Chains A and B, each alone.
Chain A
């Protein structure tokens, strides 16, 4: 059978739907589906809300299109099928001295998904976005396959284009040479937001990322742990063991007092004067992947993630956001602050020069109101929200946040006038609507 009716949900487990799914195992099977029943393609469903859902419609899964097709050790160009998970590329190629130039926070993300979201990593301020290192990609369209290259309008509509140009079958990625299979990570406590932003501004490390205690307030507002890292040679320390979450956590696990206590302890985990440690690649790049179903830690109701980027001049709005979050008592232990560079590869790509803040919220009743407030603050500050995470933005905010949206929609609609590739996200935010 080609189609299987089953349930699906976004990574946050709030948005759920039912639909028909195909899971081709060969490129030729994807060709057939692309011709007979064009529909959106999705990877490992790591988008938090509805970007990876097509309610009551059809969806093609790329899980089984996951092979390495070629690798040229002279140029570092890797050709991989769209369903290939980035952690697998790291596992196979890091020992041989090569790494994908950009890696997002989860290694479960697929090549196709990383392109569709134009994901960024801890080195965005130096290396730019994932799509900037794609040498070419192959789209499977109703009239056959076509190879698309940087500089072409279709490329810019596809990278960051949330799947609206059709299924990606494979892509050629420019990998980077690395010195060795480990990461040297310097972790230090940062007492408050101003110190944090200043440290991010002057950091020269190739990789930086900061954990933030979103429950801290007053003088400690914005405190956290800054991680600066570079690649190095050396012996690989034993990786942390993988674990699964056997059941949905009970609601009290993320009660305000518990999170505050956890965060305070987590902050003090790092010695006062900081420390430098050697970590295996996977532990540094994909810290949460070791807990396979960590989304279950948020219990049955699931969770949301808010992520925005605001211009460098808008430090104050970050302070206001963190103050509002701390006062609400809604935050979870997961919050991240990072400085981004200007690099982006597509018309609908998220990255922009500035600071990006990401915060998880358990899906309690008050969460949507809180997140809508944060989105409005980002909007007013000239920032934008990340479509891979978004659940609550409004259609009228999109043209301010994504100035190329109309041009993108024209291009996409011309190729897919029936809207066959639309997802729940695209419909909710009217992303392909032209007034």
Chain B
């Protein structure tokens, strides 16, 4: 086992497979974990798993991006934790575009799940990091947020908003010694992408978790994971709009 540091991580959306992979790696280095999400049975199973993998402690806690009443208990638990405070945000929702087309009110919930809900919570957490002068907030966005595409531009728009929020948060936190990392995963092998058509170069969740930990250690600002998505997205962003608007990628 490597050195044990006193660190506590809030994992928002801890039932996702990327979050589970990150939680396990943090547990192996002795971190304390507050696992937040909606499926309490599943969170308890992941918490138990993390305890047996070396976590200082691991507790499930309820978090619903659409229910701000769930925020306060999370914030008080974090305030009571010792050492460096950190957070990783994995929440978001991506209904099929066709569903949104028939019920545009879904746009509100996508934006709440993927942007404003988690942003409200970490906005309240940020002062604790500033006060302790350390800690990292990892915001998992998406390459879908880099340019709006016909297939999922509502999800993309929410993630774009989240990316911009993360950028501002980084600008703010750096003044106190804390940090924010924006993570833009490409295709990851999760329940969300299982069986979808058109997937290629699909990365295992463990690879994303490794990339996140490396970015945290090296205080990177924005990472694409796997790394080559940076080049793919550079090309996609460079396509002139008159051409892009006619494409379906």
Contact = CB atoms under 8 A, between A and B. Distances in A.
B39, B41, B46, B52, most chain A CB atoms within 10 A: B52
A37 interface: no
B48 A67 contact: yes
B39 A28 contact: yes
Contacts, number: 47
B42 interface: yes
A67 B17 CA distance: 12
B196 interface: yes
Contacts of A27: 41-42, 45
B191 A25 contact: yes
Nearest to A24: B191
Nearest to B46: A67
Interface string A245-288: 00000000000000000000000000000000000000000000
Contacts of B191: 23-25, 29, 64
B41 A69 contact: no
Contacts of A25: 15, 17, 20, 190-191
A71 B45 CA distance: 12
Contacts of A92: 52-53
A69 B195 contact: no
A291 interface: no
Nearest to B189: A23
Interface in B175-228: 190-191, 194-196
Interface in B37-73: 39, 41-42, 45-46, 48-49, 52-53
Given A26-B15, A26-B39, A27-B42, A4 B194 contact: yes
B52 A64 contact: no
Contact of A28 (B41, B49, B53, B190): B41
A64 B48 CA distance: 15
Given A23-B194, A71-B52, A92-B53, A64 B42 contact: no
Q: Tell me the dominant secondary structure on chain A's binding face.
A: mixed
A70 B48 contact: yes
On chain B, which size bracket covers the interface? Answer: 10 to 19
A4 B189 CA distance: 12
A81 B45 contact: yes
Interface in A78-119: 81, 92
Contacts of A2: 194-195
Nearest to B199: A4
B194 A68 contact: no
A26 B43 CA distance: 10
Nearest to B47: A67
Interface in A55-72: 64, 67-71
A69 B194 contact: no
Contacts of B20: 25
Nearest to A20: B195
A69 B50 CA distance: 9
Given A25-B17, A26-B39, A28-B41, A4 B48 contact: no
A1 B52 contact: no
A98 to B, nearest CB: 11
In the A-B complex, the 5 residue pairs with the smallest Cβ-Cβ separation, listed nearest first, are: A1-B195, A4-B195, A67-B49, A68-B52, A26-B42
Given A24-B191, A27-B45, 8 more contacts: A1-B194, A1-B196, A4-B194, A25-B191, A26-B15, A64-B17, A69-B49, A92-B53
17 contacts: A1-B196, A2-B195, A4-B195, A23-B194, A25-B15, A25-B190, A25-B191, A26-B39, A26-B45, A28-B41, A64-B17, A68-B49, A68-B52, A69-B45, A69-B48, A71-B52, A92-B53
